[in-house]
Amino acid sequence: MNPQRGFSLIELLIVVAIILIIAAIAIPNLLQARIAANEASAVGSVSAVRSAQVAYFSTYPTVGYAGSLADLGGVAPCTPLSSSACLIDNGLASAVLGSGGKSGYVFQSTGIITGGAAYNTSYVTGGVPLSWSRSGNRDFCSTNDGVMRSKLGAGGDVPATALATCLAFPVSQ
């Protein structure tokens, strides 16, 4: 007699079915973990821009807060100027609408003149997911009050650029 070697077709199909069941359970959890990581990165990026805006304001008092995100960055080797202050990584400074973003999010920072001043006395920094519900679910923003705000986003959102828009976001927990 020849001893039987290998697995039967039924045994292989059972193993494949078990692997598919495990994958069906694990994949949604992995996607949620990626979204959570992207949102945490976005909070960190908005915080970095907020810190850079404060440093920019004290470095260039005649300009006030930076007028755009690009003003805070700069291509290496970077020479600090009011148009490229070298305060944030250029990867973040160029993660704007129309780009590939940074960790699934795009950002915008806008300097705002308030109260008839001659320089930017306020700013709004916002971040939204590149692909809503795939790279993130929440929109984030912050102003010169230093408070991080967020709201549940929607497809097609753009980063907040107006004070009233950002101040309408609930305060992040």
* Domain residue ranges of the chain, discontinuous segments joined by +: 9-167
Please name the amino acid found at residue 46. V
CB atoms under 10 Å from CB of 16, counted, come to: 10
Contacts 24+ apart (CB under 8 A), 113-121: 113/64, 114/163, 117/64, 119/61, 119/62, 119/63, 119/64, 120/63, 120/64, 120/65, 120/66, 120/67, 121/64, 121/65
Q: Is the pLDDT of residue 154 over 80?
A: yes
Sheet with 138-143, side-by-side order of all strands: 105-112, 122-129, 138-143, 148-152
- The CA-atom distances, in angstroms, between 4 and each of 7, 8, 10 are 9, 10, 15
Please name the amino acid found at residue 131. S
- Tell me, what's the pLDDT at 3? 67
The predicted model scores a pTM of 0.85
Tell me the pLDDT of the chain averaged across its residues. Answer: 93
Instruction: Evaluate the CA torsion angle 27, 159, 149, 166 in order and state its sign.
Output: negative
Which strand (E) or helix (H) includes residue 106? Answer: strand 105-112
Q: Is the pLDDT of residue 32 over 80?
A: yes
Tell me the per-residue pLDDT of 43-98, one tens digit each, with 9 for 90 and over. Answer: 999 999 999 999 999 999 999 999 999 999 999 898 999 999 999 999 999 999 99
Q: How would residue 20 be classed by pLDDT, with cut points 50, 70 and 90?
A: very high
